[in-house]
A and B are shown apart, each in its own frame.
Chain A
Amino acid sequence: MHHDAQAPTENEIRAVAAPLASLEGPLLPMLHAVQHEYGCVPEAAVPVLADLLNLSRAEVHGVVSFYHDFRKAPAGKHILRLCRAEACQSMGGQALAEATLARLGIGWHDTTANGAVTVEPVYCLGLCACAPAAMLDDRVVARLDAARLDRLLAEAGA
Chain B
Amino acid sequence: MRIWVPMDSAAKAVGADEVAETIAREAASRGIDVRIIRNGSRGMIWLEPLVEIDRGDGRVGYGPVAPEDVAALLDGKLESLGPVEAIPFFARQTRLTFARCGLTDPLDYDDYQAHGGLAGLRRVIAMSQEEIVQEVTASGLRGRGGAGFPTGIKWKTVMQAEAMQKYIVCNADEGDSGTFADRMIMEGDPFTLIEGMAIAGIGVGATRGYVYLRSEYPDAIRAMNAAVGIARRRGLLGPSVLGSDHAFEMEIRVGAGAYVCGEETSLLNSLEGKRGVVRAKPPLPALEGFLGKPTVVNNVITLATIPVIFEKGADHYAGFGHNRSRGTATLQIAGNVKRGGLFEAGFGLTLGEVVNDVAGGTASGRPVKAVQVGGPLGAYLHEGQFDTRMGYEEFDAEGGLIGHAGLVVFDDSADMLRMARFAMEFCAIESCGKCTPCRIGAVRGVETIDRIAAGDPAAAELLTDLCETMKDGSLCALGGFTPFPVMSALRHFPDDFATRKEAAE
Partner-B contacts on A (CB < 8 A)? 23-29, 31-32, 53, 62-63, 66-70, 81, 85-91, 122-131, 133, 135, 138-143
Contact = CB atoms under 8 A, between A and B. Distances in A.
A141 B16 CA distance: 11
Nearest to A143: B14
A68 B256 contact: yes
Nearest to A90: B335
Contact of B45 (A124, A129, A139): A129
21 contacts: A25-B273, A29-B253, A68-B257, A69-B257, A86-B178, A86-B408, A89-B419, A90-B336, A90-B411, A90-B414, A123-B177, A126-B10, A126-B184, A128-B406, A128-B408, A129-B45, A129-B334, A130-B48, A131-B334, A140-B219, A142-B14
B256 A28 contact: yes
Contacts of A130: 10, 13-14, 45-46, 48, 340
A29 B174 CA distance: 19
Interface string B362-380: 0100000000100010000
A27 B255 CA distance: 11
Interface stretch (B23-31, B95-103, B107-115, B210-218): B210-218
B258 A126 contact: no
A140 B12 contact: yes
B273 A53 contact: yes
Interface in B301-341: 332-337, 340-341
Nearest to A29: B253
B176 interface: yes
A149 to B, nearest CB: 13
Contact of B9 (A28, A69, A91, A140): A140
4 closest Cβ contacts across the A-B interface? A27-B273, A129-B340, A85-B177, A128-B334
Interface in B177-207: 177-180, 182-184
Contacts of B347: none
Contacts of A129: 10, 45-46, 180, 332-335, 337, 340-342
A25 B175 CA distance: 22
B348 interface: no
A126 B177 CA distance: 7
A67 B174 CA distance: 16
Given A128-B335, A128-B340, A87 B256 contact: no
Residue among B216, B341, B342, B429 with most chain A CB within 10 A = B216
B207 to A, nearest CB: 12
A124 B13 CA distance: 14
Interface residues of B, number: 66
B276 interface: yes
Contacts of B335: 86-87, 90-91, 128-129, 131
Nearest to B371: A90
B275 interface: yes
Interface in B1-35: 9-10, 12-14
Nearest to B273: A27
Contacts of B177: 85-88, 123-124, 128
B174 A126 contact: yes
A140 B178 CA distance: 16
A63 B177 CA distance: 25
A124 B406 CA distance: 12
Interface string B428-441: 01101000000000
Nearest to B251: A23
Contacts of A63: 273-275
A67 B258 CA distance: 6
Interface string B250-269: 01011111110000000000
Given A27-B273, A87-B178, A124 B216 contact: yes
A26 B10 contact: no
B409 interface: yes
A123 B175 CA distance: 7
A61 B500 CA distance: 44
Nearest to A55: B273
B90 interface: no
Nearest to A59: B274
Contacts of B259: 123
Contacts of B256: 28, 31-32, 67-70
A68 to B, nearest CB: 4
B403 to A, nearest CB: 12
Given A32-B256, A69-B256, A125 B216 contact: yes
A31 B253 CA distance: 12
A85 B178 CA distance: 9
A29 B277 CA distance: 18
B246 to A, nearest CB: 20
Contact of B218 (A25, A88, A138): A138
Nearest to A24: B291
Contacts of B446: none
A129 B50 CA distance: 14
Given A25-B273, A126-B9, A130-B46, 20 more contacts: A24-B208, A25-B290, A28-B253, A28-B273, A63-B274, A67-B256, A69-B255, A87-B178, A89-B419, A90-B408, A90-B411, A124-B175, A124-B177, A124-B179, A127-B13, A129-B332, A129-B341, A131-B334, A142-B10, A142-B14
Contacts of A124: 174-177, 179, 216
Contacts of B271: 25, 28
B12 A66 contact: no
A125 B218 CA distance: 10
A122 B214 CA distance: 12
B426 interface: yes
B488 interface: no
B432 to A, nearest CB: 8
Contacts of A24: 208, 272, 290-291
B254 A126 contact: no
